[in-house]
Structure 1
Amino acid sequence: MPTLIAVAHGTRSPAGQAQIRDLVARVAARRPGLDVRLAYVDVQEPKVAEVVAAVPDAVVVPLLLSAGYHVRVDIAEAVAGTGIPVTRPLGPDDVLLDSLLKHLPPADAVVLAAAGSSDPAWRADVESVARLLSEKLEMPTVGHHLPRPPRVGGGDGTPPDRGRAGLSTGIGDDFRHVRDADRPVDAGSTARGGARVGAGFVSDHGRQAGPSAHGGQRVGASLGGDRGGQAGPSAGRGGRVGSVPGCSNNVRVAYVSGPGERVPDVVADLRRAGARRVAVAAYFLADGLFYRRLHQAGADAVTAPLCLDPAVTDLVLSRYEQAALTTTRRRL
């Protein structure tokens, strides 16, 4: 059985690092006996080329949301000449679209927010998601009020910060609602240097996830599983979207960086056009600097990082199994 090499972008956010490790641990837990490794294209170690060199029989699954530069260049160069197949990235995909839909609250207008890139293929993928999102959202209600989120404290048990606007975010592998979206998400420890993630997996304060290892992070199947956490009260599938002048199908695309409109500018523009409730559909896999900026954009709600949805576990395995089956048939 080929090794599954899950390749993430990489982040300096301890919460984002923990979320990606948890996603990969859930994948390993679903397939006992499957060797699952974690590698990165940027920021974190080990890099994908190092892991590919250590595991000759493998399938690479990019934990990325579009077929941009990292897929076409970084990962392609890492596997060049090895015969190791690379699957499609996780996005765009109906699984991710459904996740956005079911966690969007009712709103007058929706902003699909992405990191940003000058890569035309990457931008085309994001725009295609926006088109599909606008097609699937229900449109007839104007000014539908967001439900009030429950009062939930931080991940460390601290009480909620009174006086802040209610914003939707995610901690762990379920979706919760917190009132202070700027509070750092304390979701686990920082893995460094290609740590093996096994029984020694601990949380908080930058401790190692396990002994140092070369050739990728080996993920123990005993770690984690899909607890099936459901969205809070504001997470009804397909939140209704009202009609706002100047907003095509009421879904606008905006970016945190790179070319294109910025998220705060689009939110402000929608409010000037008459939107009382603006929701941000976050096209981000995990927590990080760019994701957290969405909570400062002036919207009423921001969906949680996509990797927190248990359905993404199945998406990763689906990508792997399709490629592994194709590779086995070719060998026969």
Structure 2
Amino acid sequence: MIVLAAHGTRDPAGAVVVAELAGLVRSRGVPVRVAYADVREPDVTTVLDSLGGRPAVVVPAFLAAGYHVRADIPAQVAASGHPAVTVAAPLGPAAELLDVACLRLRAAGYRQGDTVLLAAAGSSDDRALADVRRAARAMAARLETPVRIGYAATASPTVAEVAEVAREAGGRVAVASWLLAPGLFQRRVQDSGADVVADPLGAHPRVADLVLRRYFTALADAA
């Protein structure tokens, strides 16, 4: 059993994407329940309590290992008292996510020569920001162009600030979304003033591949 633990958003479209991602994973033969670390219900504790002690792997559906991954999710797991639960590594950064981010960017209209900006959620945890920097370097290697970083919240510089500086330098600005689902952060990215703004990663088969990879790796490590 996978407990797919997402951030949570008040935007119904965000919850739909998480449910669709869970459905993609479920269609590959592994049972999945959705939980949220914040904002929405049910939380991880509630979902684990509902399993009746059946073994579970909590897969954090986060693109960087920030506070929710390092503190909230482990605390919610501990509060459940579940006797057989393993917490997998978060989704990002990983090659599967970069595949989808580049695909979304090109689908949005990115052209060679555009200034590229990677838009991430942001975090107060330096380790999470290091994950974003790794993702930006990997994307730069794939696109063969420098990739700047902007944040939708918490960290700086903001997406809008980086986009403004890039526009002043001339040429088009294309923003790749390092977000899983629609919500407040994606709206801030869309309002950045960039010429091209990609959709969030969403419920893509490659993201489902990664969820399963995290699940099977966690099972192997716990054996």
**CA–CA distance in 2 between the matches of 1:259 and 1:322?**
31
Q: Match for 1:53 among 41, 49, 62?
A: 49
Select between 67-76 and 317-326 the one with higher mean Cα deviation. 317-326
Query: Could you say which structure has the higher helix fraction?
Result: 2
2:163 maps to a residue whose letter is V
**CA–CA distance in 2 between the matches of 1:308 and 1:60?**
18
Select between 89-98 and 47-56 the one with higher mean Cα deviation. 47-56
Residue 266 of structure 1 is matched in structure 2 by 162
- Give 4+ residue runs of structure 1 displaced > 4 Å after superposition: none
What displacement does 1:83 show?
4.4
**How does 1:183-262 map onto structure 2 within 5 Å?**
249=146, 251-262=147-158
Q: 1:136 aligns to what SS in structure 2?
A: helix
Residue 36 of structure 1 is matched in structure 2 by 32
**How does 1:134-213 map onto structure 2 within 5 Å?**
134-139=140-145
**Stretches of structure 2 lacking an aligned partner (at least 5 in a row):** none
- Cα RMSD over matched residues? 1.5
Instruction: State the Cα deviation string for residues 240-286 of structure 1 (Å, max 9, x = none).
Output: xxxxxxxxx2x111111113111111111011112x21100110000
Q: 1:307 aligns to what SS in structure 2?
A: coil
Question: Do the aligned residues in 1 keep the contact of 2:67 with 2:123 (CA within 8 Å)?
Answer: no
**CA–CA distance in 2 between the matches of 1:313 and 1:300?**
30
Residue 321 of structure 1 is matched in structure 2 by 216
- Confirm or deny that 1:8 pairs with 2:6: yes
- Confirm or deny that 1:299 pairs with 2:194: yes
- The TM-score with structure 2 as length reference comes to 0.90
**CA–CA distance in 2 between the matches of 1:27 and 1:98?**
18
**CA–CA distance in 2 between the matches of 1:83 and 1:273?**
55
Q: 1:308 aligns to what SS in structure 2?
A: coil
**CA–CA distance in 2 between the matches of 1:91 and 1:291?**
17
**CA–CA distance in 2 between the matches of 1:103 and 1:52?**
34
What displacement does 1:51 show?
1.4
Q: 1:85 aligns to what SS in structure 2?
A: strand
Instruction: State the Cα deviation string for residues 206-265 of structure 1 (Å, max 9, x = none).
Output: xxxxxxxxxxxxxxxxxxxxxxxxxxxxxxxxxxxxxxxxxxx2x111111113111111
**CA–CA distance in 1 between the matches of 2:118 and 2:37?**
24
Q: 1:30 aligns to what SS in structure 2?
A: coil
Counting aligned pairs with the same residue, the percent is 46
Residue 103 of structure 2 is matched in structure 1 by 102
- Determine which structure has greater relative contact order: mean sequence separation of CA pairs < 8 Å that are 6+ residues apart, divided by chain length: 1
- The TM-score with structure 1 as length reference comes to 0.61
What displacement does 1:118 show?
1.2
How many residue pairs match? The answer is 213
